[in-house]
Amino acid sequence: MKIKIVKTTDHDYKSFLTRLLQRRGNRQGAVEKRVSEIVRAVERKGDSALLRYAQMFDRVRLTRATMEVKPGEIEKAMTSVPAKDLRILRMAARRIGAFHRRQVQKSWGYRDPLGMLLGQRITPLGRVGVYVPGGKASYPSTVLMNVVPAKVAGVEEVIMTSPIGSDGAIILAAARIAGVDRTFRIGGAQAIAALAFGTETIPKVDKIVGPGNIFVATAKRLVFGEVDIDSIAGPSEILLLADESADPKHVAADMLSQAEHDERAAALCVTSSMAVAARIQKAIEHQLQQTKRRAITIKALEKYGAIIVTRGYREAIDLANTIAPEHVELIVKQPQKWSRAIRNAGAIFIGPYSTPPLGDYFAGPNHVLPTGGSARFFSPLGTYDFLKRTTIIQAQEKALRALAPKITHLARLEGLDDHARAVEARFE
């Protein structure tokens, strides 16, 4: 197949852009109805619902005794994983830890002119649930990226759920290296419900993080408020800005690296040169013959892939900021200049050697990034996501007396007389 080339001056450009932007907002009523039933069943029936759904959806017969992975199983997994794999996982964990330690926030306070002590106390969450997808593939990098920042933040207990099968040794090894405290063989929307409400076996958590399919994402949205969540993750996406200095092979390879994730992944290249677009189109066509996930990649490229030709630098930047993609990559002559103009992106990859898989696995920054345009207001997962802030206020009589007339005036403006009386009572 040939990926389409779309000019911003084409009559069908706006319809393509609309379809791309609407991709983020698809809510399927049937899915939400089914997930809501699962969540309510787990809330009401606990473990019995989990065991029933494990057999129904994952074709796994579990008991309460086998739901949790035992320490001996983890040790066995560690010995079964090749030593080279363990070394690489440990090195990745160290790099992720080094980056996220720089994000740790500290408590602070000060005294104002009235002598009041004001401040903010930073404390880690007590218990966090991490969901790790299973089934078609194993994602040890997901374990590291979600668990290491929580541990760096000081979270007391990290609970991991995943539909771990017989080939889950690498996931268990990554969990051990990252510092997971307890692991359960539960997947899907039912796992999210179990973490949110707690069951006889799985403890209730304060926050749930981790990616998943549409059922997992819908369940996270439905339990938000009962617990905190990281975000509602959508399909992967990349927007690559290229000029005549870009090697078409590099551009094609990076676009395909994201398109292979999912049939709904969006792989875009933006350039102001038709000649560059044609060379990249040819490179993608050639590399597609060698990709192992060709069927998935082709579907993604047909529906949400494109090389977009703009009328210049400013239009390209405006387009990138409008789409607000998960990954923005800059393979241009002056990448630092371009990067300063990008306001909305989950992560920015600057220059030809900053390929997105570097960030996916080994650079150190988190690969859990905002998708579907949410980079306009969301940030990558980080240590700060596992910390909560508590306000501190300590006033002496002098301070309250000085502010009392203003406080009581504002309280009565709002019709809250007892608020005013609570202040006045101190000075009667």
* Ordered per-residue pLDDT tens for the chain, 428 residues: 899 999 999 999 999 999 888 876 555 788 999 999 999 999 999 999 999 999 999 888 999 999 999 999 999 999 999 999 999 999 999 999 999 999 999 999 999 999 999 999 999 999 999 999 986 567 899 999 999 999 999 999 999 999 987 678 999 999 999 999 999 999 999 999 999 999 999 999 999 999 988 899 999 999 999 999 998 878 899 999 999 999 999 999 999 999 998 888 999 999 999 999 999 999 999 999 989 999 999 999 999 999 999 999 999 999 999 999 999 999 999 999 999 999 999 999 999 999 999 999 999 999 999 998 999 999 999 999 999 999 999 999 999 999 999 999 999 999 999 999 999 999 99
User: Catalytic pick from 100, 237, 326, 329?
Assistant: 326
Q: In this structure, what DSSP letter does residue 132 have? A: -
Nearest alpha carbon to residue 156 among 384, 386, 385: 386
What distance in Å separates the CA atoms of residue 366 and residue 192, rounded to the nearest whole number? Answer: 22
User: Catalytic pick from 100, 250, 327, 367?
Assistant: 327
- Which pLDDT value is given to residue 253? 97
3-state secondary structure (DSSP) of residue 187: coil
What distance in Å separates the CA atoms of residue 366 and residue 99, rounded to the nearest whole number? Answer: 9
**84: which 2 tokens?**
């080279």
CA distances from 308 to 102, 316, 323, 349, 387 (A): 37, 9, 13, 19, 41
- Which pLDDT value is given to residue 329? 98
What is the model's pTM? 0.93
- Which pLDDT value is given to residue 125? 98
Catalytic annotation present for 327: yes
Catalytic annotation present for 326: yes
- Which pLDDT value is given to residue 232? 83
Among positive and negative, which fits the CA dihedral 372, 377, 383, 389? negative
> How many residues in the chain?
428
What class does CATH assign to 46-229? alpha beta
- Which pLDDT value is given to residue 136? 58
State the fold for domain 5-26+234-376.
Answer: Rossmann fold (3.40.50)
- Which pLDDT value is given to residue 121? 98
What distance in Å separates the CA atoms of residue 98 and residue 6, rounded to the nearest whole number? Answer: 42
- Which pLDDT value is given to residue 138? 79
- Which pLDDT value is given to residue 25? 58
- Which pLDDT value is given to residue 27? 59
Whether 5-26+234-376 shares its CATH topology with 46-229 is answered yes
Residue extents of the structural domains in the chain: 5-26+234-376, 46-229, 395-427
Nearest alpha carbon to residue 131 among 146, 110, 121: 146
Residue found under tokens 């690498």: 170
Check if the beta carbon of residue 424 is closer than 8 Å to that of residue 404.
yes
Q: Where are the alpha helices (DSSP H) in 113-168?
A: 140-153
- Which pLDDT value is given to residue 24? 64
- Which pLDDT value is given to residue 137? 66
- Which pLDDT value is given to residue 342? 97
CA distances from 266 to 62, 164, 273, 282, 300 (A): 38, 29, 21, 18, 7
Q: In this structure, what DSSP letter does residue 186 have? A: -
Q: Where are the alpha helices (DSSP H) in 157-293?
A: 169-178, 188-197, 214-223, 248-259, 274-288
